[in-house]
Amino acid sequence: MACFFSKLICYESFGKKEIQSVTEVMMEFWARLLNVVLAIAIGCGGVIGLFYLANIGINALPKPWNRRLLPWVYISPALLLLSAYLILPTVQTFYLSFFDGRSQNFVGVQNYIFAFSDPAMLEAFRNNLLWLTLVTGVSVSLGLIIAVLVDKVPYEPIIKSLIFLPMAISFVGASVIWRFIYAYKPAGADQIGILNALLVTFGFEPVGWIVEQSVNNFALIAIMIWLYTGFAMVILSSAVKGIPEEVIEAARIDGANSWQIFWRITIPMIRSTILVVSTTIIILVLKVFDIVFVMTGGNFGTEVIASRMIKEMFNYRNFGRGSAIAIVLLIFIIPVMVSNIQRFRAQER
Amino acid sequence: MLFLNQKILFNVPILAIGAVVGLAACGQPTTEGDDNARGTPQVTMVGVMVGEQQEKIEAALAPFTEATGIEVVYEGTDTFATTLPIRVDSGNPPDLAMFPQPGLMADFAREGRLVPLTEFMSLEDLQAAYDESWLQLGSVDDVPYGVWYRASVKSLVWYSPQQFAANGYEIPTTWDEMLALGDRLISEDKTPWCIGMESGDATGWVGTDWVEDIMLRTAGPEVYDQWINHEIPFNDPAVENALNLFGEIVRNEASVYGGMVSVLSTPFGDSIQGLFGEDPNCYMHRQANFIEAFLPAEINLNEDVDVFPLPPINPDQGLPILVAGDVVAMFNDTPEARQLMEYLASETPHEVAASLGGYLSPRQGIDLALYPTDLSRKQAEILNNADVIRFDGSDMMPGAVGTGTFWSGMVDYVGGTDAATVLTNIENSWPD
């Protein structure tokens, strides 16, 4: 439809052609509209009919079989979609990871050797480890501390909303915001970045936050902590509120102070929630790419695994290496994912 | 829960799936291709020019449509290098493609996807239209495939004529004079250069341009060609020498505004602004002609800013000019596409585009008076008078080097890594 409207505008701007074309275009519009209505009717009707028939067919089957087959009929579209969009691409990626850059010659495990020995990859592994420890550690502990401290305080909702707010911003959006915060101008020029403006006001030299290798990784990590502390806080806070009042009262009667209650009661009772939040953040951190891509493009020693994967795949068009890195990333994520799901199930029970 | 209401449980997924399939069905473009059936002859063309540049190329194509009645559907994309190969592989190439660098065009030519120009244009006409260097740049294995539409001149040093006049500085004509001017500026407590290398994930290309320019001026065009074709190793002494000459300027905190941190964190389009104002941050800025688009609006292009060619280093090599540009090649051999290719090699589109500004023509015989500003006239003169023309080397190298390690290597070098390490890293990354 968009095509039709733009074409109409385009015809109008041509002037002379306008009159004869508009009727022609209107005809086409109605034809297309009819086409759409028919497509929806046949599509929807066809699928409903198909399921209806399958249902009748299965119900006609002998007793134990209809119960067994029924779920598969209903789950099959989902299974088909899942294999088309998840399983097949994964298998394909795994297959391609044993071929050269143009996916033509078999090269064995050479791409994996590259993935674990290339200096840029080693730097990416080191940085990812730093990201994992710092983002997970800081955002979960900060989230927990805030959740416990603001628990039952009158202005709790305001504080929590403020901290949760960055969650609504996309990684790219957040990175753009932080680019301004970290912006650098040489000493003597007007600083447009707030951090450097503060430094200069207090008489220090401006710092190239995303260029200086001693600070830039931490500067990027801070962005993700800013984004995900709110997420950890909200979930941990609901877990903290779920601790039965009687348990805490009993502890107080036994003479426990707040510190002891925090370590001996709160933490053990919400342990599985902490683990679920941590594993969720670990998975997010392993996939981190946008922040690095927007802030530094992987330069100045800030490369991470996912940004390296994108570079190998799309900048250098080396499908073998790109696929191998993707598989390495997948293998790292699987155990975390499994434990995340297990914990989540345990918690639900 | 399962026994609550089987009817509802069954109907909900059915409707949902039905809706999905129904929507998918109407998402299919069923009436695509009707445009051709309507009878207007068409040529499709894909290029990297978007926005204002796209309006200009459409203006340059308008006389063609007026004269022949053939509609040109130009599609500008900023993901040219990734989407074009996909379109070609899936059997749906545009009739013409305007490549921002000849490397990708050469790949398609070698795969036999492109139509050689000599099948429908005479070599004499082509030679009359383009200088030998440009023809060679558009050829693969000596078969011409590309018609050059737009040129950019990279070897330009920008300066403020007012500042030069007020302080009595002379335009340097040799590299040594340029360094001497730099020393004089430093002794007057001024900063000679503004360099900004930040360019998102492309950070580093500004440095590669510098090194390529210096390579042409020290080692000469033959060694330059060997270098970009990997006939000499990347860490050859000639390259190390060029890198170190660049280092004398960029790694000297006194000679470049703001030093290393500023070079790496200033967006390339912003750094030229340091030339202007009462007390400028710097006095020289080396950048290609397209930086004109990044000049502040209040800058008068005829008075406030001027250029001189980056001076020669080795007098034997004359004055070489580093260029880039857009070259058109043909995928589908249709009569309409042939006509458009012939038109693009003719004078008309180049003259129209030249008069619109922000454009330099690689074609011969374009009247310099057509360029709207003194500045673009001067750039066209520099391009026409060049002793040697070479294309941006990083665009000619394999992607893993040209847009990969060469870029990041320049970032590392400016950041303090020594030249030998940087060049060895790049050499090791060259694909076999």
Contact at CB, B265 and A208, closer than 8 angstroms:
yes
Contact at CB, B261 and A101, closer than 8 angstroms:
no
Contact at CB, A318 and B431, closer than 8 angstroms:
yes
Q: Is the pLDDT at B302 greater than 70, yes or no?
A: yes
B17, B415, B431 ranked by CB distance to A101: nearest? B431
Rounded Cα distance between A265 and A272, Å, is 13
* Mutant choice from A7, A23, A38, A44 vs B, greatest count of B C-beta within 10 A: A44
- Nearest-by-CA chain A residue for B13: A74
Contact at CB, A297 and B203, closer than 8 angstroms:
yes
How far away is chain A from the Cα of B118, in angstroms, using its nearest Cα? 30
Q: What is the average pLDDT score of chain A?
A: 87
How far away is chain B from the Cα of A150, in angstroms, using its nearest Cα? 38
* Mutant choice from A47, A50, A122, A181 vs B, greatest count of B C-beta within 10 A: A47
Kindly list the residues from chain B whose CB atom is less than 8 angstroms away from the CB atom of residue A47.
14, 17-18, 21-22
**Could you tell me which residues come within 8 angstroms of residue A130 by beta carbon, excluding any fewer than 6 positions away?**
A217, A221
pLDDT in tens, B220-230: 999 999 999 99
**Partners of residue B147 on adjacent β-strands:** B328
pLDDT in tens, B329-365: 999 999 999 999 999 999 999 999 999 888 899 998 8
Position A120 scores a pLDDT of: 87
- Nearest-by-CA chain B residue for A297: B201
Which pLDDT band holds residue A13 (cuts at 50, 70, 90)?
Answer: very low
pLDDT in tens, A285-310: 998 989 998 888 888 889 999 999 98
pLDDT in tens, B103-128: 889 888 988 999 999 999 999 989 99
* ipTM reported for the complex, 2 dp: 0.74
Q: Is the pLDDT at A12 greater than 70, yes or no?
A: no
- The answer to whether residues B48 and B100 touch, using CB atoms and an 8 Å cutoff, is yes
Per-residue pLDDT averaged across B188-202, rounded?
90
Contact at CB, A44 and B201, closer than 8 angstroms:
no
Rounded Cα distance between A17 and A24, Å, is 11
How far away is chain A from the Cα of B238, in angstroms, using its nearest Cα? 25
Q: Is the pLDDT at B36 greater than 70, yes or no?
A: no
How far away is chain A from the Cα of B158, in angstroms, using its nearest Cα? 21
Contact at CB, A46 and B21, closer than 8 angstroms:
yes
Contact at CB, A47 and B14, closer than 8 angstroms:
yes
Q: Which of A57-61, A338-342, B226-230 has the lowest mean pLDDT?
A: A57-61
Q: Rounded to a whole number, what is the largest CA-CA distance in chain A?
A: 93
pLDDT in tens, A209-262: 988 888 999 999 999 999 999 999 999 999 999 999 899 899 999 988 888 999
* Mutant choice from B40, B42, B261 vs A, greatest count of A C-beta within 10 A: B261
Q: Is the pLDDT at A6 greater than 60, yes or no?
A: no
A211, A298, A316 ranked by CB distance to B399: nearest? A316
How far away is chain A from the Cα of B29, in angstroms, using its nearest Cα? 10
Contact at CB, A210 and B265, closer than 8 angstroms:
yes
Q: What is the average pLDDT score of chain B?
A: 87
- Nearest-by-CA chain A residue for B428: A118
- Nearest-by-CA chain A residue for B85: A317
Contact residues, B window 78-97, toward A, CB-based 8 Å cutoff: 82
Contact at CB, B258 and A185, closer than 8 angstroms:
yes
- pLDDT above 90: percentage of residues in chain B: 59
pLDDT in tens, B74-110: 999 888 877 888 898 888 999 999 998 888 898 889 8
- pLDDT above 70: percentage of residues in chain A: 94
Q: How many C-beta neighbours within 10 Å does residue B332 have?
A: 15
pLDDT in tens, A117-152: 988 899 999 999 999 999 999 999 999 999 999 988
Which pLDDT band holds residue B3 (cuts at 50, 70, 90)?
Answer: very low
Which pLDDT band holds residue A342 (cuts at 50, 70, 90)?
Answer: confident
Contact at CB, B281 and A39, closer than 8 angstroms:
no
Contact at CB, B262 and A208, closer than 8 angstroms:
yes
- pLDDT above 90: percentage of residues in chain A: 52
Kindly list the residues from chain B whose CB atom is less than 8 angstroms away from the CB atom of residue A6.
none
Give the residue from A349, A337, A332 showing the smallest Cα distance to A129.
A332
Q: Which of B14-18, B153-157, B324-328 has the lowest mean pLDDT?
A: B14-18
Q: Is the pLDDT at A63 greater than 90, yes or no?
A: no
A42, A47, A212 ranked by CB distance to B261: nearest? A212
Is the Cβ of B8 closer than 8 Å to some Cβ of chain A?
no
- Nearest-by-CA chain B residue for A32: B31
- Nearest-by-CA chain A residue for B14: A48
* Mutant choice from B2, B3, B26 vs A, greatest count of A C-beta within 10 A: B26
